[in-house]
A and B are shown apart, each in its own frame.
Chain A
Amino acid sequence: MELVSQHVKGIMEECKLRAMDHGLTFDDETLEYIVTNRDMIELSPKVMIPTLYDYWVHDVRVLSGKGMYEAYPSNPFETVINTRPAISFYNDNNPDWLNVMIFYHVLGHIDFFQNNLFYKNTWDIDLTGQALSDKRMIAKLRSEKGRWVDYAIEFSRGIDNLVGYHRELNLNILNESKQPLNRTDFYFDIFLQKIKHISHNDYLKEITRYNEGLHNNGDFFNLVINKYPEFEELYRKELLIKRKTELDIMEYIIRNSPFLKEDENEWMKTVMQIVRNTSLYFQPQIRTKIMNEGWASYWHEYLFMRDDRICGHEVDYAKVNAGVTSMPKVGLNPYALGMRLFQHIKDMEDRDCYSFEYALLKDEIGKKKFNKAKASGADYILKVRENFNDFTFINSFIDQEFMTAHNLFVAGKRFNNARMSIEYYIKSKKAEDYKEMLVDTLYHPPEIFVDLSLTKNGVLYLNHKFESKPLKTDYIENTMIGIEYLWGGPVHLETSEPATPGKTAAAYANFWDPASQQTEEKKPEPVKWKRMLYIMENRKLHKREL
């Protein structure tokens, strides 16, 4: 691993200037390293952070990565990590013109890391330094406690996907704005909904009344105080309450575990904290894959096409670019999709299509011809990259126009019994269906929290807020063994499971078995769910229905 040559660094600096001219903003300092593919294999289990703590699972991944590489060699162009200064890794065998393109791509990533608000919590941390000190800490603990450090890491990592990322982010942003809760917010968000529990209809009426009041300058709260004399008093009390923060499972265990409170186990808290912080650091990255890749691809294309250094390499570029950003006939490519969506948003905004006037248009031709020459698209996409994550990005901007422009569809896959083949077919060309399909692919860990009312007598009670997706049952046992270990007592997990197991399976088997075709006619019933309680005690798992 070594820094790029002065010549290559020169190319990078040149790219930076041009990128900044087009509105990208990032720190001046960046570090570029040349690495071998072997280095990359060794880095990837450590999420590319060279200084991340050592852990045997990383070693396993490296060994299998090497095996994979032996069978299927690959040659990644670049990898960027969200550090200050931003560090990027490259192969050493790129020609200059290709480096220009890759650097633009990398600068897109860096700009994204440093401007997208979902990364806010990572902005003030020196990750490489932090990771290095964590690594030393863990190494020191390992020299004292031996393999028990690895168990502590393992069990902490078992719940590191349940960290309260959104809450931490929210807290950070709230702290920054330092806005005390105002009377209006209190009235509508807390008073009416949580204290008075008024009906939906009455709530809407109040909002209407409030909006009217805005126009006539009437004092909205006069009537409120007449109706609810206690309102002012409650509002005053609310302001005095310190915002009580809900703890995620890891925090809760760190603070309350009787086991970790014992002197000889105190060190595990450090390990948990390290694992938790590391996980939190990478949360935004998992949630902005499509945007981040799309943004980088958008800019490498945009900037390189306008760069004179492309001269003579147009065909080479077209080939490389197509490899990265072409849309597969069947399948998803986040680079390609994100890039096209940014281009689409810019185009729509340039024509002022995100306006009421456009939304009111009914005819296709009118829509196509609509152009107010607003030309504000460039600024608009900069705002989008600042304020959106994959979910909101997809949900807000994939529209029928986008689907049509790129001939997109949801591809279905079904078994054709007569031809003994698997058929791929166009399942839907509706934007709504496409969105749903995409959203299903996004990272979404289950929401599981400590149920304080049921956590007593030494039992840690976890509650899974069910979103019509059951947990992967294979993983429950080992995860709970880990939690039990860290908690030092029995752990209960409440979750949902299909109430009729085997039923869908039977339907599945019938499909293949013409002998019992009569049952196939039946439409599959909607799945019914039942609440289950998993109980982990003394490393034994039981479950019962609630």
Chain B
Amino acid sequence: MITLDELLEKDRRREEDGFKRKIRIGRIVKPGTGGKEKIIIVPTTVEEKFVHDEIRLEQEPGEGEPTGGTGEGEEGEVIGEQPVRPQEGEEGEEGAGEGPGQGEGGEHELESNAYELGKVLSQDFQLPNLKDKGKKRTLARYIYDLTDKNRGVGQILDKKATLKRIVETNITLGNIPDIDNIDTTKFIISPRDLIYRILSREKDFESQALVFFLRDYSGSMSGKVTQTVVSQHVMLYSWLLYQYEKQVETRFILHDTEAKEVSDFYKYYSYKVAGGTKVATAFKLVNDIVERENLARDYNIYVFHGTDGDDWDKDGKQTIAEIEKILTYVSRIGISIVEHSYVGSKQTEVENYLKSSGILTKHSNLIKMDVLDENADDSRIIQGIKQLIS
């Protein structure tokens, strides 16, 4: 059986042969108890053929695909309903019991699975603009260096330390009668005196980071747009987990006309579309949280927002105001606008007001925007991530 690596290698070769890549890294996210969601990394691919599109243009707006049903009732009768806004309470008190011991199992599973994805998402990714802030928590990446010393065996002989050691030994043995006139040829050298440098894992201390993921889940987001945004955020999230070994703190915010914080990535990832769109609410919630918990002092803060660019606040006055506020403390805002293909070359509202407000150029180091098509493939999405964290 072929491995994932071999498949990806094969896929790379497609490009050389002049064909598009075909393998996407898919993820199956399985909810677990106590926030221990499990992300399983699987490759997926689509075999393109001429097929009928499943969209039904004749359908009335707001009406879904009909299906079969059985049971009592008359025509027109409502037989059930499903709330579109997720209800936190219904999921049970999952988040509440999250103790340190409980978290570990999930973490381990995630780590081992995210490994493959992490490898794919080249290790060049790095959070931009990291500054030293407080010392509450260290954000460590590991590097390998010849820092540790070892007696007897090792990679490189540390001559100075070895000589010191030999001298010490010989003094102890009384082998050095006159310290002003040392005859090195008389030295007795024990194998244990040889001191080597060995390769060891070192923590590379960096400042701690807090990442906000914001996602528009308004009605207009249904379908591929959401998939693409979620894809990008799953990759970002997996990469953060992989690269920083879950030392980065993450917060998740969903918004339609109201914003709400959800407790874990699974909820963030899986909640379905709801009502209208007010982008400003999400950014406002970020500001509120940061202020309330006084996070700006101790954390490097990153905000990633995914949307289809639709906003009821057409000129973005409120949104820009909130973003300006965030810009005073944030290390990077990354906004991904995933356009519906029907938009065509027209700019979306969010793109429009972001551009016309000039904040993109004024704070070009702090805020980045990536506009992609809803049909973007993985390589495009990864390129988008690079752009957002460049």
B70 touches A151 (CB 8 A): no
Closest to B310 in A: A509
Residues of A within 8 A of B65 (CB): 413
Interface membership of A62, Cβ < 8 A: yes
Closest to B346 in A: A502
Residues of A within 8 A of B45 (CB): 57, 60
Q: How far is the CB of A45 from chain B (nearest CB, A)?
A: 11
Interface membership of A446, Cβ < 8 A: yes
Interface membership of B81, Cβ < 8 A: yes
> Which residue of B61, B66, B218 is within 8 Å of A524 (Cβ)?
B61
Contact digits for B36-71, partner A, Cβ 8 Å, 1 yes 0 no:
001011111111111111110110111111111111
Residues of B within 8 A of A501 (CB): 342, 344
Residues of B within 8 A of A421 (CB): 81-84
B57 touches A498 (CB 8 A): yes
Interface membership of A407, Cβ < 8 A: yes
- The stretch from B13-21, B127-135, B297-305 touching chain A is B13-21
How many B residues have CB within 8 A of the partner chain? 74
Bound CA span A159–B274, Å: 38
Known: A407-B70, A421-B83. 14 other contacts (CB 8 A): A63-B42, A64-B42, A158-B49, A410-B66, A415-B84, A422-B81, A437-B68, A445-B49, A446-B51, A479-B50, A502-B343, A508-B220, A512-B220, A527-B57
Q: How far is the CB of B199 from chain A (nearest CB, A)?
A: 34
Contact digits for A47-87, partner B, Cβ 8 Å, 1 yes 0 no:
00000000011011011101110111000000000000000
A508 touches B74 (CB 8 A): no
Residues of A within 8 A of B340 (CB): 505
B28 touches A67 (CB 8 A): yes
Bound CA span A11–B74, Å: 47
Residues of B within 8 A of A42 (CB): 1
- The stretch from A281-289, A379-387, A468-476 touching chain B is A468-476
Q: How far is the CB of B203 from chain A (nearest CB, A)?
A: 32
Closest to A150 in B: B10
Chain A to chain B contacts (Cβ below 8 Å), 5 pairs: A63-B4, A147-B10, A158-B48, A413-B63, A422-B84
B76 touches A332 (CB 8 A): no
Contacts of A394-421 to chain B: CB distance below 8 A: 406-417, 419-421
A56 touches B7 (CB 8 A): yes
A445 touches B69 (CB 8 A): no
Interface membership of B89, Cβ < 8 A: no
Residues of A within 8 A of B46 (CB): 475
Most buried by B among A67, A407, A520: A67
B82 touches A422 (CB 8 A): yes
A539 touches B18 (CB 8 A): yes
Contact flag A409-B44 (CB < 8 Å), given A471-B53, A512-B218: no
> Which residue of A161, A423, A520 is within 8 Å of B81 (Cβ)?
A423
* Interface of chain B: mostly helix, strand, loop or mixed: loop
Contact flag A151-B47 (CB < 8 Å), given A406-B70, A429-B75, A512-B218: no
Residues of A within 8 A of B26 (CB): 64, 67
Bound CA span A162–B51, Å: 9
Q: How far is the CB of A525 from chain B (nearest CB, A)?
A: 10
Closest to A154 in B: B47
A71 touches B40 (CB 8 A): yes
> Which residue of A154, A426, A472 is within 8 Å of B51 (Cβ)?
A472
B67 touches A62 (CB 8 A): no
Bound CA span A334–B381, Å: 38
Residues of A within 8 A of B95 (CB): none
Most buried by B among A64, A409, A471: A409
Q: How far is the CB of B257 from chain A (nearest CB, A)?
A: 10
Residues of B within 8 A of A493 (CB): 50
Q: How far is the CB of B313 from chain A (nearest CB, A)?
A: 10
Bound CA span A71–B19, Å: 33
B69 touches A157 (CB 8 A): no
Bound CA span A150–B381, Å: 26
Interface membership of B355, Cβ < 8 A: no
B70 touches A479 (CB 8 A): no
Most buried by A among B4, B79, B85: B79
Contact digits for B182-202, partner A, Cβ 8 Å, 1 yes 0 no:
000000000000000000000
B49 touches A479 (CB 8 A): yes
A411 touches B69 (CB 8 A): yes
B2 touches A59 (CB 8 A): yes
A426 touches B41 (CB 8 A): no
Closest to A506 in B: B342
Interface membership of A36, Cβ < 8 A: no
A161 touches B7 (CB 8 A): no
> Which residue of A60, A470, A526 is within 8 Å of B53 (Cβ)?
A470
Residues of B within 8 A of A67 (CB): 26, 28, 40-42
B52 touches A56 (CB 8 A): no
Contact digits for B261-280, partner A, Cβ 8 Å, 1 yes 0 no:
00000000000001111000
B43 touches A411 (CB 8 A): no
Bound CA span A419–B275, Å: 11
Residues of A within 8 A of B82 (CB): 421-422, 424
Interface membership of B219, Cβ < 8 A: yes
- The stretch from A14-22, A92-100, A323-331, A362-370 touching chain B is A323-331
Residues of A within 8 A of B40 (CB): 67, 70-71
Residues of B within 8 A of A64 (CB): 26, 28, 42-44
> Which residue of A56, A425, A445, A473 is within 8 Å of B79 (Cβ)?
A425
